[in-house]
Amino acid sequence: MDRVLEVIRKRRSVRGFKSDPVKKEDLETVLEVAMYAPSAGNRQPWHFTVITDGKLINELSARAKAALAADRNSPYQQRAADPNFHLFYHAPVVIIVSGAESSRLAHTDCAAATQNILLAAEALGLGSCWVNLFLFAFRGEGGEDLPGHLGIPGGYKPLYSIALGYKVHDNWPVPPRKKECVTYIDG
Ligand SMILES: Cc1cc2nc3c(=O)[nH]c(=O)nc-3n(C[C@H](O)[C@H](O)[C@H](O)COP(=O)(O)O)c2cc1C
């Protein structure tokens, strides 16, 4: 049990990855435990796209950056214009979590599956980062064809993405946590 708590506390958003490929069995484990997430009515309204094709990962990053850079309302507009900024921090693996449009709580269920992936990654000695800016890749030119290229089944839409790989170092900053968010009602 201590180990579970340690993994939860230790997980950080990792924003720098080695180029080494992730072991196939580790990838399979991460996906297997994703599917053990709870889901409303046990509908399991998720689909996972696992991308290890570096060219495609770079293309997704470039597409999202182009759409972000063109968005004057985005706080990330300036960041997206930086040629050194890679949306997935050069991770060798990107997992896209898509949700069934027919399922009202797909967002919630897929978020639970995504968190399982982040925790499993940490337990296996991998780094991960939840990257939602990837959704901009679907907004730009040709974005409507992207779900098909990514093998996302009809009736599902991309919701979340995870950058995954070996960490370049193990000292990622711990953003401070709010403490005033608990109410105890004692009997
Ligand atoms: C829904 C969601 C979307 C996020 N999107 C991004 C993102 O696009 N890029 C990124 O670098 N981090 C992203 N993050 C990571 C958060 O910035 C990070 O979780 C937060 O700063 C707390 O840091 P920690 O994960 O190390 O505890 C996202 C996290 C969540 C939950």
Pocket-testing residue among 107, 132, 167, ligand 1, by greatest number of atoms within 8 A of Cβ: 132
pLDDT at 142: 87
What are φ and ψ of residue 180, in 5° steps? -90, 55
pLDDT digits (tens, 9 = 90+) for 77-111: 999 999 999 999 999 999 999 999 999 999 999 99
Q: Is the dihedral of CA 89, 90, 93, 99 positive or negative?
A: positive
Residues of the chain with pLDDT under 70: 1
The greatest distance separating any two alpha carbons of the chain, rounded to the nearest whole angstrom, comes to 58
pLDDT at 29: 98
Q: Is 129 helix (H, G, I), strand (E, B) or coil?
A: strand
Q: Which residue has the CA at smallest separation from atom 30 of ligand 1?
A: 130
Bridge partners (DSSP) of residue 127 are 165
What are φ and ψ of residue 115, in 5° steps? -65, -40
Per-residue burial over 43-54, b = 16 or more CB atoms within 10 Å of its CB, e = otherwise: ebbbbbbbbbee
Pocket-testing residue among 129, 135, 169, 174, ligand 1, by greatest number of atoms within 8 A of Cβ: 129
Question: How many A from CA of 129 to the centre of ligand 1?
Answer: 7
Q: Which residue has the CA at smallest separation from atom 17 of ligand 1?
A: 13
In short, whether 13's Cβ falls inside 6 Å of ligand 1 is: yes
In short, whether 166's Cβ falls inside 6 Å of ligand 1 is: no
Distance (Å, whole) CA 68 – CA 107: 23
**DSSP at 144:** G
Question: How many A from CA of 130 to the centre of ligand 1?
Answer: 5
In short, whether 163's Cβ falls inside 6 Å of ligand 1 is: no
CATH class of 16-165: alpha beta
Bridge partners (DSSP) of residue 130 are 162
Report which ligand 1 atom has the smallest distance to the Cα of 89.
11
pLDDT at 1: 62
- Residue carrying the six token digits 């409303």: 40
Q: What is the value of pTM for the model shown?
A: 0.97
In short, whether 94's Cβ falls inside 6 Å of ligand 1 is: no
Report which ligand 1 atom has the smallest distance to the Cα of 12.
26
pLDDT at 133: 97
Distance (Å, whole) CA 20 – CA 27: 13
Contact (CB, 8 A) for 48 and 162: no
